[in-house]
A and B are shown apart, each in its own frame.
Chain A
Amino acid sequence: MPPKKSLGAEYLKGLWDENPVFRQLLGMCPTLAVTNAVINGFAMGLATAFVLILSSLVVSSIKKLIPSQVRIATYIVIIASFVTIADRFLAAFFPPISKALGPYVPLIVVNCIILGRQEAFSSKNSIGRSLVDALGMSTGFILALLVLSSIRELLGAGTFLSYQVLGSWFKPWIIMILPAGAFITLGVLLGLAILIETKTKTRSS
């Protein structure tokens, strides 16, 4: 086993080095689907964070009780239970957001970030470390959603959190709100992330 990182490093790796969206290309479906407005992206990020953190807590605390043959099924049931809670909660308290996110809230259950963290991390690490790891991954995911949705809402509607930011001279780029805009923006951002990474690497070496 590699030497253990400090808790701080465990948290920070989720923000950049192992950012789920930009570096690991996980959880692409919700990333693309709900980022047409900042509020939707943020709500999605929070819901995913809720599920990820609680699932990690549960999985890491009962990891010794789960037989390895049925571990994936067990993880899925745990995740599905928390997703149901999140889905019902949003539907009860924030009906407009729940409506805007549509089937993508229940789809958190198949978000590869969550299952991936359980399999790769929570099933092997202590409760505390799993919590820190889940917090870091969630923060990284929320950040990625915020970056993407800010760009798309700003260029696609000239607004930020539905406040008019750009003046009346600005003609909204309708394409940014459409599916095509999501793909292209994310593609360019991925390129940028790799560019930054290679630039910083060559500088440090």
Chain B
Amino acid sequence: MDLLTIFVAAILVNNFVLYYFLGICPFLGVSKKIDAAFSMGMAVTFVMSLTAVVSWMINHWVLIPFGLDYLQIVSFILVIASLVQLVEMFIRKMSPPLYQALGIYLPLITTNCAIMGLALLAALKDYNFIQTVVFGVGSGLGFTLAIVLMAGIREQLDLADVPEPLKGAGIALIVAGIMALAFSGFSGMIK
């Protein structure tokens, strides 16, 4: 598969949030304001790209040569946890305002299933190194696109007259459903 297809597929067709249902927690939790949603999207994209690189190296240089594939789950989650920790320390040192803005969400990226899902899916699809990197960046941008669109819609929703029980998560999920429907229109773009 050529790289452009992987990239477009990761952003639009097999969008992480709307197709694989990965990263729903931040998608619902951090999508109330566009700025916060965008920062979250960027943080996820950054961690995803790093994870794609590191998990590929671990998988192909350590786990597969030594026949340790069954340790995939344990080693991936540890890699992700330590990466997030590193990124957190780095951002706190380099850009305190950004650190303030991301706040609690940064450590939460560890349990963001999108990151773990990326490592597992890339291993499952047997991508080579370049493909994995493209897949990681594309998936991160796809997540950003979905969460920013969602935040934009929710800012408008504040003014709408939503039935009382559906306020909050209920209407957010229904909106996500309609978005998923719209995104499924892209599925004709790749075979």
Contacts and interface: CB of A to CB of B under 8 A. Distances in A.
Interface of A: 25-26, 28-30, 32-33, 72-73, 76-77, 80-81, 83-84, 87-88, 102-103, 106-107, 109-112, 115, 175, 178-184, 186-188, 190-192, 194-195, 198
B186 interface: no
Contacts of A198: 164-165
Contacts of B166: 187-188, 190-191, 194
B121 interface: yes
Contacts of A32: 21, 24
Contacts of B116: 106-107, 109-110
Interface string B69-85: 01111100110010000
A72 B78 CA distance: 11
Interface stretch (B92-100, B130-138, B153-161, B172-180): B172-180
B49 interface: no
Interface string B92-130: 000000000000000000111101110011001000000
B73 A190 contact: no
Contacts of B184: 178-180
A187 B171 contact: yes
A115 B34 CA distance: 29
Given A109-B116, A187-B174, A191-B166, A180 B181 contact: yes
B87 interface: no
A71 to B, nearest CB: 12
A178 B171 contact: no
B105 to A, nearest CB: 13
B163 interface: yes
Question: For the side of the interface on B, what is the size category?
Answer: 35 or more
11 contacts: A77-B78, A106-B116, A107-B22, A112-B25, A183-B173, A188-B174, A190-B169, A191-B166, A192-B165, A194-B165, A195-B165
Q: Shortest 8 CB-CB distances between A and B: which pairs?
A: A187-B173, A183-B177, A184-B177, A187-B174, A191-B170, A28-B24, A180-B181, A33-B21
Nearest to B20: A33
B26 to A, nearest CB: 11
Contacts of B21: 28-30, 32-33, 179, 182
Q: What secondary structure prevails in chain A residues at the interface with B?
A: helix
A106 B165 contact: no
B124 A187 contact: no
A81 B78 CA distance: 12
Given A32-B24, A76-B77, A88-B70, 4 more contacts: A29-B113, A107-B116, A191-B166, A198-B164
B74 A77 contact: yes
B161 to A, nearest CB: 15
B18 interface: yes
Nearest to A34: B21
Contacts of B28: 25, 28
A175 B180 CA distance: 10
Nearest to A25: B169
Contacts of A192: 165
B90 interface: no
